[in-house]
Structure 1
Amino acid sequence: MIRERGWAVDLDAYVAEHGGEWRRLEVLTGRRRLDADEIDELVVLYQRAATQLSVLRSRSPDPALVGQLSQVVLRARARLTGRPRPSWAVVGRFLLSGFPGAVYRAWPWWCGVATGFTLLSFFLIWFVAGNPDTAAAFIGEQAAAELVDSGFADYYTEYSAPTFAVQLWTHNAWVAARCLAAGVLIIPVLYLLWENALNIGVTGGVMVSYGRGDVFFGLITPHGLLELTGVFVAAGVGLRTGWAWISPPAGLTRGQSVARAGRQAILVAVGLVGLFAVSAVIEAFITPAPVPIPFRVAAGAAIWLAFLAYVLILGPRATTTPPPTATPVDHEVVNATRRAGEQ
């Protein structure tokens, strides 16, 4: 026995009385399109079923019935609130609008990072190449000789290409994640950039000082163009998030400013996962390929230029409207829900 509105009701009779409404609610919930009358009916049946479920939960000894009706109510609620459906359109919007738009909005930041990093790296290469003693101070004479003889080139063939690609992918994604996450503090991002510039500068300076500059640039350029661009984007977006805290735009609090920049950073972080996967494939398969250096460099440069064109062509279009962040909602159903609530 259960009670509803103070009356004792037999469970079988209760199910017989309302079972037709529950089945009708299931049918309406499963339909792809509803007309105005069906929408109103869906809202009313959902409200009734939710109330009846509450009664059953408090009074019914039948867990199977409660579970069955719970599923019906949950599906109806998801339909009313606009349950997101898996769709390639979402992926398409991200690739054609969300990611390139977020990268393009931050272009002054990552272009500034790229310029500063490149100038610093070439300065260090020039300085170390012109002052061999500095290389010994950084890594030691024996290590420098081993680096030139085989160490630098062997790095790209030490592991099988698939294993190497996965290692590179995870490492670069982790570096980018740290840049994005630590951007609000600024100093950690600058330190990470300095570490990478110093590594390139010392390694390149040693190779150039021993007359192996062609090997260094021939191996680092094919993948380095795209890989470093990804790092620059991550660092630039991270620094922009930090600046959003230091100097928020007019009309926004610091919290609102950081939140807005953080949403863009999330879009960039997701997109960079794919970018670093591509750069890892280039470094594992193309960089050490037994083909002339110009072919390897041309392949890497073509992919890098394709990425820049992707951002520069699609990015401006995406910035004309803000990227979609909300879950799609069936507005007709929402309006019907509101009308029912007012009644």
Structure 2
Amino acid sequence: MDIDAFVAASKPSWDRLDDLVRRQRRLRGAEVDELVELYQRAATHLSIVRSGSSDALLIGRLSSLVARARAAVTGAHSPAWREVVRFFTVSFPVVAYRARRWWIGATVASLAVAYVVGVWVARDPGVQAMVGTPEEIRQLVEHDFADYYSENPAASFAGHVWLNNAWLAMQVVVWGILLGVFIPYILLQNALNVGLIGGLMHAHGKADVFWGLILPHGMLELTAVFLAAGAGMRLGWTVVDPGPRRRAEALAEQGRAVMSVALGLVVVLLVSGLIEAGVTPSGLPTWARISIGALAEALFLAYVIVFGRRAERANETGDIEHAPDLAPTS
């Protein structure tokens, strides 16, 4: 085969293909069809050139053209930064927003239990006696509770708190696959512990210490736990009531979406851990420490509401783009 004659005859179609690739975002319907046809032809030409010529420059140029045309025809992978931006502006906030009734319900129920238990413990000496001896309670309210936040270096403590809370949130979400039946139990245990300690601190005149140490980080931390619980219970309810879709499809979609919550909460709990390690035990006035915690909580809620509502109005579910079980098939 005369390779020079072949190149001369094929070059106009290669030039046309290169032009279409450069203008791929502005192509009309007929031009898109032409792009596909010329790409297929160029791929065949590349195979011919590779078998009939040793011209590395020609092979390299044609290989590059075919690769760019393939990306234009099949669609190039989204850059990593775009996926990160989509996660924090769409996937995570919309799943949190769509599950708001579940985690707001978990919040109200947990706080109600903690309040009832706290009042009960604070007002009933008999209950306090069942918790521990006077010496043990005195050690807790006067030393152990406050010392917990300052006995370790801030960086080490922040890392420990972050890993512990992130693991707890992940477990809560995963329990959703099993209908979420264990999630209320986990929330109940957490509410009982908070109510018990709060009641003991109030009963012994340490209410200011209790609220001054628990509120700065606790608002954001507990919101993250309640969000994980709400998303997990919503996933469990999908097993019971999948809606108009098949149960397996609904569970797969909701499961992928809920994993966005688990991953997003890793970041939220990191912020909470930093506040717990750096702000909670600091020498700042109590009002300043609580204000920092309240600001972090307000920013997070505003983020979920603004970005979540916008994504929901755009019919986003938090599922991955082009999910395999939702791809069209013939």
Aligned residues: 312
Identity of aligned residues (%): 41
Partner residue of 1:308 out of 301, 309, 316: 301
Contact 1:184 1:243 in 2 (8 A): no
CA change 1:33–1:281 in 2 (3 A) is same
- Once the two structures are superposed, the pairs formed by residues 1-343 of structure 1 within 5 Å of their partners are 35=27, 43-44=36-37, 46-48=39-41, 76-86=69-79, 90-129=83-122, 130=124, 131-136=127-132, 143-185=136-178, 186-249=180-243, 251-323=244-316, 325-326=320-321
Distance in structure 2 (CA, Å) of the matches to 1:83 and 1:265:
27
Q: Is residue 99–residue 271 contact of structure 1 (8 Å, CA) maintained in 2?
A: yes
Q: Can you list the C-alpha shifts for 1:176-216, whole angstroms capped at 9, x where unaligned?
A: 11111111321221232123223222322332333222211
String of CA shifts for 1:291-330, please: whole Å, max 9, x gaps.
Answer: 2111111221122122222333343332212227426xxx
Q: Deviations over 1:133-190 (max 9, x none)?
A: 2321xxx665433322321112111222222222222222211111111113212212
In structure 2, give the amino acid aligned to 1:123.
Answer: V
Aligned mates of 2:73, 2:89 — CA distance in 1: 29
Structure 2 counterpart of 1:283, one-letter code: E
Deviation at 1:87, TM superposition (A): 6.5
Counterpart of 1:281, as a letter, is L
Indicate conservation of the 8 Å contact 2:20/2:27, yes or no: no
Counterpart residue identity of residue 294, structure 1: W
Q: What code does the residue aligned with 1:163 have?
A: S
Q: Which runs of 5+ in 1 are unaligned?
A: 1-8, 328-343
Q: Residue 184 of structure 1 contacts residue 238 of structure 1 at CA under 8 Å; is this kept in 2? A: yes
Measured against aligned partners, the alpha-carbon deviations of 1:271-302 in whole angstroms (never above 9, x if no partner) come to 22222122112111111110211111122112
TM-score by length of 1: 0.74
State the superposition RMSD in angstroms: 3.7
Q: How far apart, in 1, do the equivalents of 2:157 and 2:149 lie?
A: 8
Deviations 1:100-131 (A, max 9, x none): 32212111110110011111112222233322
Instruction: Give the 3 Å change call, closer, same or farther, for CA 86–210 of structure 1 in structure 2.
Output: same
* Matched position secondary structure for 2:313: coil
